[in-house]
Amino acid sequence: MASGGDFPTDRHGWAELLPERRASEPLRGDHRVAWAVIGAGVTGLACARRLAALHPDQEILLLEARLVGQGASGRNSGFAVAVSQFSGGVKPGELDNCRRINRINRAGLDLLRAQVADNAIDCQWREDGFYHTAADRKALAEHGHFLRYLEALEIAHDPLDAGALAARLGSAHYRAGVHVHEGALLQPAALVRGLADSLPANVRLHERSPVLAIEKGAPPTIRLARGVVRADNVILATNYEATKLGFLRRYLTASTLSGSFTRVLNDEELATLGSAAEWGVLSLHSGGATVRLTADRRICLRNTAEFSGGALLSEAQLAARQAIHRAGFERRFPQLAHVPFEFAWSGVEGISRNGTNFFGRKADNIYLAGGYNGSGVSRGTAFGTALADYASGGRSALIEDCLASAPGAWIPPRPILDIGAFLTVRSRFRGVGLDR
């Protein structure tokens, strides 16, 4: 159940499937440090790791409001993307921007691959790309756009017809698709826990340590319920919750997504799911379902998104959304209609009105990266790493790519924001039809 307070958590499936983990102690007392990173999702973990390497003689404080794995980084669908999809077709003049975004994605994917391998992180990492699929009219139009974009950018892919998709995925639901070779699937909670538990020795992580306020100044002061930190440099890696600390209030908002997992499939059930041992399907409709056959033999399907003021769904709301998950599941896998769901979960993603991401200096010695519009596993890793370099005075091609993110579009204050956000999220489902 979603617990109350400003930083709610709940028993979401991805973390439930993992063994118990010993959390770090909350921060108490007064501290003076060179670097404080706030938020231990993929962005903050990547940033802290890089800062530790750049400044081996300094201590990096990493403050996390919840337990590691309870934020979006531990409850996403587990697609570490190399190649982003852009709805509505890409015009020739926009191709350079797409190349820039894909360079950032690939940089993040390379970093994650190395970190997972170097630290032997057991997170079901599998790098075999993804299927991008279409079942209904609007997604079929996107299929054509997507193929032209992949060809223009010379990205390796295999177009697949309905028969080829059915043979690989065990679902006759899709009418057309593409297999893009790059991209990794992973267990998100296992990834972030593994990253947190393998941080360099000069990173000090404190969980259950919500930052309540940041006072600008030299140095900035960070206030917690039972402690105060004065840090020469502060990095905000708090995703959409940066707004609670007074940053990006007019530029960043949140969308709440939800999905379900089946129980573990038996051999007979698994045999109906085609030739691919494990797979991930992204819808070519931006409001369509994300579906996976996981390494531990479950089907995982996410197909709702809504504006709920940055909150997780309550148990009652989640139970109601399960009917939507169920319908999407049975449409795709009628042969598995008898298989029950075992977990349902929700999570909150940071979104901007114009789909941009945020990177850079926000005030003297205060830096921020975040807001990846539902595609932040690899991109957040790249942004977090680049932000550590940037805040340390470095320059690199990756920093230039991150700095080239378009400025955020203005979001009106509440309650107009709520109506606008509600309509924006609803418009995401226009024409989704059978792709939901």
Ligand X SMILES: Cc1cc2nc3c(=O)[nH]c(=O)nc-3n(C[C@H](O)[C@H](O)[C@H](O)COP(=O)(O)OP(=O)(O)OC[C@H]3O[C@@H](n4cnc5c(N)ncnc54)[C@H](O)[C@@H]3O)c2cc1C
290 or 365: whose CB is closer to ligand X? Answer: 290
Sign of dihedral through CA atoms 191, 193, 198, 199? positive
Cβ at position 379, least distance to ligand X in Å:
7
Cβ at position 392, least distance to ligand X in Å:
19
Sign of dihedral through CA atoms 353, 357, 363, 367? positive
Site residues for ligand X per CB under 6 A: 7, 38-44, 63-66, 71-73, 75-79, 81, 210-211, 237-239, 241, 245, 257, 302, 347-349, 370, 372, 374-377, 380
Residue with tokens 């002061």, as numbered in its chain: 221
Dump strand ranges (E) for 197-246: 203-206, 211-215, 221-224, 227-236
Number of H helices, E strands in the chain: 11, 19
1 or 167: whose CB is closer to ligand X? Answer: 1
64 or 182: whose CB is closer to ligand X? Answer: 64
Is residue 106 within 8 A of residue 162, CB to CB? The reply is no
43 or 260: whose CB is closer to ligand X? Answer: 43
Cβ at position 255, least distance to ligand X in Å:
8
Cβ at position 322, least distance to ligand X in Å:
14
In this chain, which residue has its C-beta nearest to ligand X? 376
What lies within 8 Å, CB to CB, of 212 at 6+ separation is 223, 224, 225
Q: Please tell me the distance from the alpha carbon of residue 264 to that of residue 262, in angstroms, as a whole number.
A: 6
Encoded tokens for 186: 């992973």
Q: Please tell me the distance from the alpha carbon of residue 241 to that of residue 276, in angstroms, as a whole number.
A: 38
Cβ at position 67, least distance to ligand X in Å:
9
269 or 290: whose CB is closer to ligand X? Answer: 290
Phi, psi dihedral angles at 162 (to 5 degrees): -55, -40
Cβ at position 346, least distance to ligand X in Å:
7
283 or 365: whose CB is closer to ligand X? Answer: 283
